[in-house]
Amino acid sequence: MAQRTKLVAGNWKMHGSLASNLSLLDAVKAGAAGMACEAAVCVPYPYLAQARSVLTGSNVGWGAQDVSAHSQGAYTGEVSAAMLADFGCRYAIVGHSERRTLHGESDQLVAEKFAAALGSGLTPILCVGETLAEREAGVTDSVVTRQLEAVLANSGVAALARAVVAYEPVWAIGTGRTATPQQAQDVHAAIRARVAKDDATVAAGLQVLYGGSVKAGNAKELFGMPDIDGGLIGGASLVAADFLAICAAA
């Protein structure tokens, strides 16, 4: 089995202020020094400059929570991948379920955002995951595979060598309800198997993160599963001690 480094990425969502971010970023930077896992925070756009200024030279990366599919032009309100690269971003989340649901982002649009991020040298964190109704209907694997295949069709399997996938069951996000380690492992294994169908080497090296109510108390068990390579952390990434405890578990 390929040796994959664990990655713990915070997704701050629409939280923060210059003042509160400063103490959070300082604490994460100090606490993550010397940790074996990779760590990153995905902050709201206006705070990218602040993240860059605090985190440059540390072992914590930073990124955005979305990116435009377009490179430039008359797209009011959008932010391009090149702009994110300009601010030193390493990561851009694409296809978070809140974007898919609240902003109507289709599999195709997510695939285009993924390609745009890669095109500017960012590492896309591609989110996939099923709703509760889909899980109960027994179609989890087909939903996740469909979301993944849109990217495979648009960018090709080699692109996944420069990307991260995050499995985030929609019913577990922000709900306090976590997938059991085995439930998550099963989907992670299915994701890796689907990628392996196209390229076994890319599949073996692919970091597949779990997201959905990861806390200090459940991280170790989740990250102990063979195909879980870290986490995408929402709520718990807003409290430095919690986020660092999750990093330590990785």
211 binds ligand PGA (CB under 6 A): yes
Provide Rg for the chain, Cα atoms. 17
Q: Which residue number, 41 or 122, has a Cβ lying nearer to ligand PGA?
A: 41
Which of 17-25, 55-63, 109-117, 168-176 is the region at the interface with ligand PGA (rule: CB under 6 A)? 168-176
Report the alpha-carbon distance of residue 237 to residue 27 in Å, rounded.
12
124 binds ligand PGA (CB under 6 A): no
- Give Cα 228 to chain centroid, integer Å: 13
- Residue 11 beta carbon to ligand PGA: minimum distance, rounded to whole angstroms: 4
Q: Which residue number, 140 or 237, has a Cβ lying nearer to ligand PGA?
A: 237
What is the set of active-site residues?
96, 168
- Residue 10 beta carbon to ligand PGA: minimum distance, rounded to whole angstroms: 9
Which of 75-83, 130-138, 199-207, 209-217 is the region at the interface with ligand PGA (rule: CB under 6 A)? 209-217
> What residue has token string 């390929």?
2
CB-count burial class (<10 Å; 0-12, 13-18, 19+) for 50: middle
232 binds ligand PGA (CB under 6 A): yes
Contact with ligand PGA (CB under 6 A) among 174, 217, 224, 226? 174
Report the alpha-carbon distance of residue 215 to residue 162 in Å, rounded.
27
173 binds ligand PGA (CB under 6 A): yes
Scanning residues 3 to 42, which ones bind ligand PGA (CB under 6 A)?
11
234 binds ligand PGA (CB under 6 A): yes
Contact with ligand PGA (CB under 6 A) among 150, 214, 219, 246? 214
Q: What is the DSSP string of 93-137?
A: EES-HHHHHHS---HHHHHHHHHHHHHTT-EEEEEE---HHHHHT
Kindly report the number of other CB atoms within 10 A of residue 4's CB atom: 15
Query: Residue 222 region, left (φ>0) first, then alpha (ψ -120 to 50), else beta?
Result: alpha
Contact with ligand PGA (CB under 6 A) among 31, 95, 169, 212? 212
Report the alpha-carbon distance of residue 240 to residue 66 in Å, rounded.
23
Q: Using the 8-state DSSP alphabet, how is residue 234 labeled?
A: S
CB-count burial class (<10 Å; 0-12, 13-18, 19+) for 3: exposed
What tokens were used for 47? 């705070």
Q: Which residue number, 184 or 202, has a Cβ lying nearer to ligand PGA?
A: 184
Q: Which residue is nearest to ligand PGA (CB)?
A: 234
Handedness of CA 121, 119, 77, 213 (dihedral sign): negative
Contact with ligand PGA (CB under 6 A) among 213, 218, 240, 249? 213
Contact with ligand PGA (CB under 6 A) among 63, 95, 169, 235? 235
Contact positions vs ligand PGA (CB under 6 A) = 11, 168, 173-174, 211-214, 232-236
